[in-house]
Structure 1
Amino acid sequence: LGLFPYSGYVKRKFHTSLLDLYIERQDIPRMLVLVDEVTSDDSEMPNFEWYASIHHLAGDTARESDLVQRQQRQYDLSIKSKGIDRLGIRVFDSSVFRPIGHTALLDVYVKAHKLGIIQCNQLVLLGGKENFANPALVEYFDQYVSRVVGDDPCRELRKFLNPIEERLSVVKCGPGGSEVLKLSQFVSKVNIEWEASGQKCLLRLSDMHRKEGYKILKSMGIPDDGWFCGLHVREGKDFLRDVRDADIQTYKLAIEEIRRRGGWIIRLGNSQMTRLSMDHVIDLPYTIYNSDWFNVFVFAEGKFLVGTGSGPLAVPHCFGKGLAISNWGPLRETACTSDDILLPKHYYLRSENRMLTPEERFSERFGYLESRSALRNLGIEVLDNSPEELRELVIEMFNKLDKHSTAEHSMCPIQSEFNDLALSSGIYPSRIASVYRGLPVR
């Protein structure tokens, strides 16, 4: 009898352990069956959003939407009973916004607030800067958000404000949160309206960081008149998101193109990433110069960032810098601006011996999938960008920065098709790399 009050907790722990086992075995069908069993009724389930993300990553957007809506109903009841809907605040918890890419999303929320896309009196961040992966980036947002620090105050506020904390599944917009958007749709809407308003980027590198950053560049061997590009290639071990990963060795031609033009490459990441031994290439995590503020310096001062689908891609936008986005998978998950060029991976349909069309790539069935296993179960082989494609992407990015003619870009039928499909999906109409569209870039 003494165990009875904890039966729900014990059951959840058991299901979590079993789910971890299925994830380790990469057994997607059993994962989905277990998630459906756990969420079969409307009892209060603290991990609803996490379970919804499992369906999202497996491509079952209908079940994902159902779980998100059920959790939101629970939150709405709690919000009404506590009366916290009248506070007029948007709350960002460090437990959710700790990763650098999530922290950088504050840029989008601040812009949305300024544009009136989200309506509130104040943006509130829970957690000291030490609770975030990049404390220096958090400090850059202090001019726009209020921050509550201290373990005890944050712990108590989390209990009270949990129902209105921002999450990464959907965002409530408009009067009274009447419009509910997926995160990628929200980011796209904000980027489109921000550019239309003609406003500039929110963040500027501090004078101190700029001065100290260039001192470090000199210590690294980069001359006073030298320049660099950032590079981040995801090498993860999460099979539910492994479409985001790429082989750093395939980027050597792109790196050589930057070097040929006189540039240096500063590679961002962690100490588990594969080392590169190339002239003019600095593997930052393996140096004494790796720090939170110097990472921000690289994002803000590099000509552009060559990257894959990972959190660091969100940071250069905060400082108005562009991205050469490579090896991208789910087209409904893009979050681009007019400063970027997007080079997607290729999806090969084995049964019909062809590549998926843009329309198929934007469909509900394929548009969100980030797992090679899930795509393989649908008969799709994911083909990474070739070294030659990656080099062409970099060449086109330089041409764009040099403001070379891009008339063929805007007139290309495939680009027009991408634009139409993106806008109809609520996604920013990204510029698609010419090499993906079969156009010359030189």
Structure 2
Amino acid sequence: MSKPQAFYPFFQVGRIGEIAMRIPKARNLYPESEYDLTILLPDTQIPTANQAVIDILCRGVRVKHVASEQEARAMHQQAKAEDPRAVWVDPDPAANYVEYLNRFHDQPRSYFASLGREDVEKGWRLREKLGMPRNARIVTCHVREAGYLDHKADMSYHGYRNADIQNFFYALIYLIKRGYWVVRLGDRSMRPLSDFPNHLIDAPFHPEYEPFFDPYFIASSDFYLGMLSGPNTLAGAFGVPQLLTNVPLSCASEENEGDMMIPKKYYSHQLGRMLTYEEILMSPILDFNRLYLYQESEIEVIENASTEIFAAVWEMESRLNDRYPFRDEAELSHARVKQIQKKAHLWRQHTLTPDHYPHYPFMASYLLKGRLSHEFIRMHPGYLGHDFPRIAWGFHPRVEGLPARLEAFHRERMQTSL
């Protein structure tokens, strides 16, 4: 029996992130083993779209270019008249994300993007032009800056997601000294890099740059280092391990085993201190996705310092090469993180209503497979919570133990079973 047809309308083709988020999710939700999937794209060229990414992610499925949604709907209706099983896929990315996460948080995905043989051979020729050996170990890096969207007044609310490339310099120099080639991705609105060794390729400003740089070098990476943005979404589509820095906790993208993240820090001017992980996850702050919400709540979102990024890069590179010395300790802190995430997950399940948009009745990080950097936790002993007094409850409750100093919390916690 033939497979039912599925039509996925993707009319708002834009930057890499939109392409790499939507097409792979559609291909996982409607796998080739079960559906005859058609991706419907606009029939006009989108200037901001990376055609190389589209070509690679659409390879293996049918693609049709349509002039309007009406034309696409007509195609679906004709298919449905011939076979009532024909499916029109909801184009809403939030709805697809909910379905995707619910389905794949506890089972493997059916689709990962991959390079074809011609891509690999083209990549070898590109490496030759760059003076890069075929067997070079690569880390791709992308640091989100304001420049690309600065001219769009309606996008200024994204400012809390940006960071300074200078805070990555120590980490990049460390990787180069370890023998890696670093390919920095982005666009020409970013600050050019200077005075770096030859093993750093500043792709947007390189004379050999072409759109193929992005999918080829990301797919060829030992890991991706950087921010939540288009390139990181593409790394997730290829299944490349990611070290995500400066992560706002309202976002979650560490979806693959081996992914790691360090969050931005949240300083409350009302309380006069940093907020803990649990305080953020168990409050409306978790859904803040506009700069003014932080400002009105007197919360300052602080980007990662160079030492935090350097420590996390050391941890990531050590883990990938099976020489990270604190694995047992890290499993204890990871268990504590999952406890906090589970609490937030249950809270959201029982408090969010359908009028909450996007309606995510779950804690995404709890369902995803990545982890917080243990080195970040070691640098911030109080981040996973405060130690409260131990109380013996009865008719006459009494204090059995006073809270430990915040600085001692990490050491005390590591000596007890979670």
> TM (normalized to structure 1)?
0.68
Give the gaps of 5 or more residues in structure 2: 78-87, 347-361, 381-418
After superposition, the Cα gap between the structure-2 partners of 1:420 and 1:155, relative to the gap in structure 1 and judged at 3 Å, is closer
Aligned to 1:264: 181
Q: Is it true that 1:135 corresponds to 2:54 in the alignment? A: no
Of residues 334-343 and 155-164 in structure 1, the stretch that sits farther from structure 2 once superposed is 155-164
1:188 alignment partner in structure 2: 101
Question: Using the alignment, how far apart are the partners of 2:304 and 2:36 within structure 1?
Answer: 45
- What is the correspondence of 1:40-439 to structure 2 with a 5 Å cutoff? 89-95=6-12, 97-105=13-21, 106-114=23-31, 122-128=37-43, 130-131=45-46, 133-149=49-65, 151=67, 154=68, 156-157=70-71, 165-171=90-96, 183=97, 185-193=98-106, 196-197=107-108, 202-236=112-146, 237=150, 238-277=155-194, 278-279=196-197, 280-363=199-282, 365-404=284-323, 406-412=327-333, 414-421=336-343, 423-424=345-346, 425-429=362-366, 430-438=370-378
For 1:242, the aligned partner's letter is G
Change (3 A) 1:296 1:142: same
State which drifts further: 223-232 or 253-262: 223-232
Asked if the contact 1:330–1:370 (Cα under 8 Å) also holds between the matched residues in 2, the reply is no
Q: Distance in 2 between matches of 1:200 and 1:270?
A: 32
SS in 2 for 1:292: coil
* 8 Å contact kept, 2:141–2:182: yes
The range that moved more, 158-167 or 132-141, is: 158-167
**Aligned partners of 1:324 and 1:340 also within 8 Å:** yes
Alpha-carbon offset, residue 414 of structure 1: 3.8
Aligned Cα root-mean-square deviation (Å): 2.9
Cα displacement (A) at 1:123: 4.4
Aligned residue number for residue 59 of structure 1:
none
One-letter amino acid of the counterpart of residue 431, structure 1: R
Q: Kindly provide the amino acid, as one letter, of the partner of residue 108 in structure 1.
A: K
Residue 159 of structure 1 deviates from its aligned partner by 7.1
Residue 75 of structure 1: aligned partner:
none
**Against the structure 1 CA distance between its residues 225 and 327, is the aligned structure 2 distance closer, same or farther, given a 3 Å change threshold?**
same
**Distance 1:190-1:291 versus aligned 2 partners, 3 A rule:** farther
Aligned-pair identity in percent equals 21
1:364 positional shift: 5.4
User: In 2, distance between residues paired with 1:93 and 1:276?
Assistant: 35
Is residue 343–residue 393 contact of structure 1 (8 Å, CA) maintained in 2? yes
Instruction: Assess if the C-alpha contact under 8 Å between 2:50 and 2:211 holds in 1.
Output: yes
When residues 422 and 343 of structure 1 are mapped into structure 2, their CA distance, relative to the original with a 3 A threshold, is: farther
**For the structure 1 residues 333 and 316, does the alpha-carbon distance in structure 2 shift closer, same or farther, using more than 3 Å as the test?**
closer
Query: Deviation digits for residues 178-205 of structure 1, max 9, x if unmatched?
Result: xxxxx3x445334423xx34x6752221
Residue pair 2:141, 2:183 contacting (<8 A) in 1 also: yes
Q: Superposed, which structure 2 residues align to 1:3-14 within 5 Å?
A: none
Counterpart of 2:164, as a letter, is D
Amino acid at match of 1:438: R
Deviation string for 1:40-94 (max 9, x for gaps)? xxxxxxxxxxxxxxxxxxxxxxxxxxxxxxxxxxxxxxxxxxxxxxx96342223
| Aligned positions, number | 334
Q: Secondary structure at the match of 1:166?
A: coil
- Which residue type is aligned with residue 27 of structure 2? V
Query: How far apart are the structure 2 equivalents of 1:358 and 1:311?
Result: 26
Contact 1:191 1:337 in 2 (8 A): no
Cα offset for 1:339?
2.4
Q: 1:385 to 1:313 in 2, by over 3 A?
A: same
Once residues 120 and 365 of structure 1 are traced to their aligned partners in structure 2, the CA distance between those partners, rounded to angstroms, is: 39
| Residue 283 (structure 1) shift | 1.2
Most deviating of 410-419 and 387-396: 410-419
Amino acid at match of 2:260: I
Distance 2:252 2:284 in 1: 13
Give deviations 1:100-159, integer Å, cap 9, x for gaps: 11111221221222399xx976343223594471212222233454321254xx464257
Give the distance between the partners of 2:279 and 2:262, measured in 1 at CA. Answer: 17
C-alpha distance 415-426 of structure 1, shift in aligned 2 (>3 A): closer
Shift of 1:385: 0.3
| Structure-2 separation of matches of 1:225 and 1:110 | 31
Q: Which moved more, 1:284-293 or 1:419-428?
A: 419-428
Question: Any unmatched runs of 5+ in structure 1?
Answer: 1-86, 172-182
Query: What secondary structure does 2:293 align onto?
Result: helix
Deviation at 1:266, TM superposition (A): 0.7
Structure 1 residues 291 and 186, CA, compared in 2 at 3 Å: closer, same or farther? farther
Contact 1:108/1:190 (8 A) holds in 2: no
